[in-house]
Amino acid sequence: MFRIRRVYDDFTPINKEAVKQVQKILRTQFYLLSRKEIAKLPEQLRNPFKYRFRSILFVAEGSKGMVRGFALLLHEPILNFCYLDYISTAKRRMGGGIGGALYDRVREEALHLKTIGVFFECLPDSPELSRDPEIRKQNAARLRFYERYGARPIVNTAYETPLKPGTDNPPYLVYDNLGQDMELHRDTARIIVRAILERKYGDIASPDYIEKVVESFKDDPVKLREPKYIKREVTIQIRRSIPADRRIALLISDQHAIHHVRERGYVESPVRIDTILKELDSADIFQKFKPRRFSERHITAVHDSKFVDYLKKVCASLEPGASVYPYVFPIRNVARPPKDLPVRAGYYCIDTFTPLNRNACMVAKRAVDCALTAASKILEGHRLAYALVRPPGHHAERRSFGGFCYFNSTAIAANYLGKHGKTSILDIDYHHGNGQQNIFYERADVMTISIHGHPSFSYPYFSGFRDEKGIGPGKGYNVNFPLPESFDSKRYREILTEALRRVAGFRPRFLVVALGLDTAKGDPTGSWTLNAKDFEANGRMIGSLHLPTLVVQEGGYGNRVLGVNARNFFMGLWSGAYSI
Ligand SMILES: [Zn+2]
């Protein structure tokens, strides 16, 4: 078994290892390649435009991250074509369909990028150009493989002119138009061939040589060799379904329904998840995963351990169905925590409407597990992941709960990703993300940004002001955008643009979005009027940052539109993330 995935960079341990293994395959399978050429691969990925082409690396990964093959596709976005620089399996690991699966993925990508097709070199199968029958046989097998896709050598040109006269096996230039019904015009072909030769042989080919080969393209449109091996008209079609590595990893809090506060007006209810899920199922861009269990140390890494212990203890002590609402609020810095557990609730809570009950702690812990599993999917190479969880978490501070929140899943996941590079949290819930602000207020490695209703009229009332910017090393790494009670969606996009500019300026490796859908029109806890189209546009803007992005579900209580808005947000995020 293997999976094909795109490797965007070498920042995470798993990607670093994959790139290293690709370089090893390059060294062993392409022994004529210079060390310099192989060494530049990480830089090619990180800095896509430095080398004129955007490098797109796909690996076929077996168990334990073993790279069993790879393809390096170069994309020229201006001339609008792809050049397949390398496609190779690891030595002695031929077969198993890896080459075919990689080439399928390459074609799918080239089509997704809306290019005119894929060009690549293939060693010749004619006795004049390939004298050794054994090598010729291998070359023929390769050309036969590509012919099944309709990819054949371009003929009547001087492309096969050896760089050094008399050299055996000068390559053909093969063209795969991806089954698109279009011809390749001479002038286009000439520009493309020049770009390929300059990239590939710029160091060793003379300008005269390049000129001569380019000028040799005379047919208009360019002609491909007649099929030599495959007589049937049927060529392999491109799979139209979305490849696994371009899907959003979806983690759903599976035990959430047992946390059900039935008091009147408690809008944070199980139906929220079902409503969202139903709509997501109609968008074929997700791949579901099961949540894993994570150790509690991830929680105590951001929450006070006394607070965590308290929540566990008090919840376990409550009878099923019973709720404790805090009613005494000791001034924490001078008072001792009350001995009696229900009374102590006010020592750790920020409001009077978030109850403790038997299941709250366990279900909140499961939401954390989901968020962490989703974060681990990002580390495993998924570009986008979504933890669809409840209860929400962004109001939970280092040592307090409230606002329907107990553990801050968003902050815990951001802290976990933060071990592998700078992380930015963007909170787009209607209410201020006071939890993350409090947790990371003195840190410079996690930037917290929140767009929310001004605390003068909106929960949590005590934080979210513009002048809260972080302290100590964290100074300048907390940004609040408190907004008025009503304004139009155009204004919202302006603010979001500004927030995204701050994210980009921080140059994070990861983005965590605290997604509140309570910014929607008609939400019982908000006053804004965003509609499905706005969510789509906002999602697209966030996706266009092209960052590995984990989305954690926070608020959103207008059950009639919750699902539709979530679906639109993710459609936008997804198309933004995979735009060029
Ligand atoms: Zn909210």
Q: 550 with 514: CB under 8 angstroms? A: no
The one-letter amino acid at 175: Y
- R_g of the chain computed on alpha carbons: 28
Q: Give me ligand 1 centre to Cα 191, in Å.
A: 54
Q: 540 with 508: CB under 8 angstroms? A: no
Verify whether residue 185 is a known catalytic residue: no
522 CB-near residues (< 8 Å, 6+ apart): 558, 560, 561
Half-sphere exposure of 225 (CA within 13 A, CB side): 22
| pLDDT tens column, 65-114 | 899 999 999 999 999 999 999 999 886 555 568 999 999 999 999 999 99
CA distance 437 to 469: 9
To 5 degrees, how large is the angle CA 378–CA 382–CA 387? 60
Provide φ and ψ at 249, rounded to 5°: -70, 125
Q: Give me ligand 1 centre to Cα 452, in Å.
A: 9
Q: Give me ligand 1 centre to Cα 310, in Å.
A: 25
Q: Give me ligand 1 centre to Cα 391, in Å.
A: 11
Half-sphere exposure of 151 (CA within 13 A, CB side): 28
Closest CA to 160 of 215, 123, 200, 119: 123
Q: Give me ligand 1 centre to Cα 457, in Å.
A: 13
Provide φ and ψ at 72, rounded to 5°: -115, 110
Count CB atoms within 10 A of the CB of residue 4.
21
Provide φ and ψ at 544, rounded to 5°: -70, -5
**Per-residue H/E/C for 9-75:** CCCCHHHHHHHHHHHHHHHHHCCCCCHHHHHCHHHHHHCCCCCCCEEEEEEEECHHHCEEEEEEEEE
Count CB atoms within 10 A of the CB of residue 131.
10
What pLDDT score was predicted for residue 505?
Answer: 98
What pLDDT score was predicted for residue 95?
Answer: 57
Q: Give me ligand 1 centre to Cα 402, in Å.
A: 12
Give the DSSP per-residue string, 195-245.
Answer: HHHHHHHTTTS-HHHHHHHHHT---SS--BPPPSS--SS--PPPP-SPPGG
What pLDDT score was predicted for residue 336?
Answer: 79
For residue 20, give the H/E element and its range.
helix 13-29
CA distance 106 to 489: 39
Strands 3-7, 54-61: pairing is: antiparallel
Q: Give me ligand 1 centre to Cα 554, in Å.
A: 7
Closest CA to 299 of 381, 448, 401: 401
Q: 453 with 485: CB under 8 angstroms? A: yes
Q: 61 with 67: CB under 8 angstroms? A: yes
Place of tokens 């390929």: 196
Burial of 301 (0-12, 13-18, 19+ CB in 10 A): middle
Q: Give me ligand 1 centre to Cα 268, in Å.
A: 10
The dihedral sign for the CA sequence 412, 14, 106, 23:
positive
CA distance 87 to 68: 11
- DSSP-H helix ranges across 261-322: 271-281, 297-300, 305-317
Tokens of 74: 């170069």
CA distance 482 to 465: 6
User: How far, in whole angstroms, is CA 515 from its chain's centroid?
Assistant: 16
Tokens of 445: 């490695």
What residues pair up with 400 in beta bridges, in sequence order? 397
Q: 26 with 38: CB under 8 angstroms? A: yes
Which pLDDT tens digits describe the chain residue by residue (580 residues)? 899 999 999 999 999 999 999 999 999 988 788 899 899 999 999 887 777 889 999 999 998 889 999 999 999 999 999 999 999 988 655 556 899 999 999 999 999 999 999 999 999 999 999 999 999 999 999 999 999 999 999 999 999 998 888 889 999 999 999 999 889 999 999 999 999 999 888 888 899 999 999 999 999 999 999 999 987 666 677 777 899 999 999 999 988 888 888 877 788 889 999 999 999 999 999 999 999 999 999 999 999 999 999 999 999 999 988 888 888 887 766 677 888 888 888 888 888 888 888 899 999 999 999 999 999 999 999 999 999 999 999 999 999 999 999 999 999 999 999 999 999 999 999 999 999 999 999 999 999 999 999 999 999 999 999 999 999 999 999 999 999 999 889 999 999 999 999 999 999 999 999 999 999 999 999 999 999 999 999 999 999 999 999 999 999 999 999 999 999 999 999 999 998 7
> How many residues are given for the chain?
580
Interaxial angle between packed helices 341-348 and 305-317, expressed in degrees from 0 to 180 and rounded to the nearest 10: 140
295 CB-near residues (< 8 Å, 6+ apart): none
Tokens of 209: 């040589």
Q: 161 with 209: CB under 8 angstroms? A: yes
Count CB atoms within 10 A of the CB of residue 524.
10
User: How far, in whole angstroms, is CA 285 from its chain's centroid?
Assistant: 12
Tokens of 236: 């392999």
Closest CA to 111 of 67, 147, 149: 149
CA distance 126 to 136: 7
Burial of 399 (0-12, 13-18, 19+ CB in 10 A): middle
Catalytic residue chosen out of the listed positions 395, 431, 432, 452 = 395
Tokens of 487: 């304004």
What pLDDT score was predicted for residue 182?
Answer: 86
Count CB atoms within 10 A of the CB of residue 245.
18
What pLDDT score was predicted for residue 343?
Answer: 84
What residues pair up with 82 in beta bridges, in sequence order? 75, 118
